Structure 1
Amino acid sequence: MAERRLCGAAPVFDDEFDSPSLSAWTLGAAHWITHTPWGGDFGDARFTDPGPGSAFSARDGVLSITARKDAQGHWTSGLLASADRDGHGFTTLYGYFETRVKLPPGPGTWPGIWLNESTPPNWMRPTVEVDTIEYYGQFTDAFHSTVHVWPGHSSEPHGGATQLTSVPAHSLVDGFHTYGTLVTPRWISFYLDHKEFWRTPTPPQHRLPFMFLVNLALGSGWSIDRTPNPTAMQVDYVRAYRPADPEAFARCLAAGAPPGAPR
């Protein structure tokens, strides 16, 4: 994987989707499961298992996650999670997480690229979720990034921080872009095409390793009456790095790190 080094670091997790490796609920030898490990699927489209008729297809190293409506008017779509309910799979406490994605067109689409802590059984403390990008398809000129501190079974209130980032209208659906998040003990930094657009302190509640999630959901309170049928989110790659010196890695990105090596 040396050709995919970024700022001197080689990826510790790298899926180029030349041959997608998917399972429904338990990883086994697969790279991804296609539901949230905690069974909390969401949105107005049912997330499918892999296989014939599923939301997932690949061509020329690009994975398409397609939302479509069947003859009965029921929507299906897809989600990827890099760890299962037993904690098997890829997780890391700190690191740089990056995807190269072309977002789906159309109102009602609700794609997300995010991190969620992998919790052991009977975990009672708060958990942290990091949404690198949360995009609402009817608003083509901006996206949300959020750090959530969920109380779980504790008495702590919900906390965190959020950022709204403006972009040229339709730019995120017209072409591929890289979306990155660098998590360090001090900061969580967010990047679009390797340019930092937001930084916020790492919550002290962050104690568990993050899994990687990518999904195309629908709705989130917005109408899906005008959502195109079908509509697809295209994922070129998903990579995670664990740099030995996160501060030096961040300085390298800020200096204009080039995209990954040519395929």
Structure 2
Amino acid sequence: MAVPLYVQFVNSSGIQQRIPASTPARGLDLKYDETFARPLSATRTGAGATYASGKPNSFGVNDFGAAIFAQPDGSGSTASTMPGGYLRIPARPLPSSKSDPAGYGRTSTGGLLSSAHMGGSGFSAQYGYFEIRALGPAGVGTWSAFWLLSSGSLVGGGPTAEVDAAELYGDAPSTVFQAAHSWTDRGDTLGRSLAPAVPGGGDWALSWHTYGARVTPNGVDLYVDGVHTGHTARVVGTGQPFFFLVDLALTDAWQDASVATGRRSDLYVDSIRVWV
């Protein structure tokens, strides 16, 4: 069976591209406007930086999936900003000179940025609209996402609300997985998941799209390119402020499926904005 090959091109000429209007933000004030025009500021825990490069929680920071979340350090294998105002989060083979620091035997690196830091500092917002403009990577095993967590998860004790504005699985580039749910002390999840098609029958790996979630006291409204894709009822914890995370993670299918591309893939982000 033939496998389609995707080649990503990023405009670095400074020509402004058309950005769909953020109609879900009407009536709200822009409070966070990240366009990645400056060198990336990130450390593992977020200390002394704008972003944390690991998932912060009440017991520290951690990774998930089949990739090590590399700490940005200026090398080509970790997240960085690019000329023209883009964030690039790459997936790459782990250099032969290094090993998985957690001892799980992972052989690839991905990346994550969190607006909250270990300990609870950083950016969060209550009842607002969170939106990203991104170009996701296709390919079996890639798992990129823009999502929100309730700030109570940073200190522990009680359920954690999670809102997935976009989970982009590389083997399904015409579908955007969206959800709102709560993690309880028993590890259960309560909520609803949606899997809308890209508006207009598009492919999110071939062009830029916006993905957004508006959290209100009555629930969560989800959007793709400003088009309302679904509503979920309020879940436990959504009354707390939320912080956002953006990542390129990998699934176990990556190791074999990515051989044709040299186990290389990239998530590009043009902007992240929050209105309240």
TM-score of the aligned structures, taking structure 1 as reference length:
0.82
Pick one of 14, 17, 20 that aligns with 2:36.
Answer: 17
2:161 corresponds to 1:142:
no
Q: Measure the CA separation in 1 of the matches of 2:150 and 2:70.
A: 23
Aligned residue identity for 1:235: V
Residue in structure 2 matched with residue 210 of structure 1 by the alignment? 242
Q: Measure the CA separation in 2 of the matches of 1:156 and 1:64.
A: 32
User: What's the Cα RMSD here?
Assistant: 2.3
**In the TM superposition, what is the alpha-carbon distance from 1:106 to its structure 2 partner?**
1.4
1:22-33 matches, within 5 Å, as 22-33=41-52
Q: Measure the CA separation in 1 of the matches of 2:149 and 2:266.
A: 23
Residue in structure 2 matched with residue 251 of structure 1 by the alignment? none
Deviates more, 1:137-146 or 1:17-26: 17-26
Residue in structure 1 matched with residue 71 of structure 2 by the alignment? 49
1:183-262 matches, within 5 Å, as 183-219=215-251, 221-227=252-258, 228=261, 229-242=263-276
Q: Measure the CA separation in 1 of the matches of 2:109 and 2:202.
A: 24
2:171 corresponds to 1:176:
no
Moved over 6 A (4+): none
**In the TM superposition, what is the alpha-carbon distance from 1:96 to its structure 2 partner?**
0.2
Q: Measure the CA separation in 2 of the matches of 1:68 and 1:40.
A: 19
Q: Measure the CA separation in 2 of the matches of 1:225 and 1:36.
A: 26
**In the TM superposition, what is the alpha-carbon distance from 1:105 to its structure 2 partner?**
2.2
Q: Measure the CA separation in 2 of the matches of 1:156 and 1:216.
A: 24
Q: Measure the CA separation in 2 of the matches of 1:141 and 1:76.
A: 25
Q: Is this contact kept in 1: 2:132–2:273, CA < 8 A?
A: yes
2:210 corresponds to 1:164:
no
Q: Measure the CA separation in 2 of the matches of 1:164 and 1:234.
A: 22
**In the TM superposition, what is the alpha-carbon distance from 1:8 to its structure 2 partner?**
4.6
Between the two proteins, the alignment pairs up a number of residues equal to 236
Q: Is this contact kept in 1: 2:221–2:228, CA < 8 A?
A: yes
Q: Is this contact kept in 1: 2:45–2:54, CA < 8 A?
A: no
Aligned residue identity for 1:100: R
**In the TM superposition, what is the alpha-carbon distance from 1:20 to its structure 2 partner?**
3.8
Structure 2 portions without partners, runs of 5+: 1-20, 97-105
SS in 2 for 1:37: strand
Residue in structure 2 matched with residue 113 of structure 1 by the alignment? 146
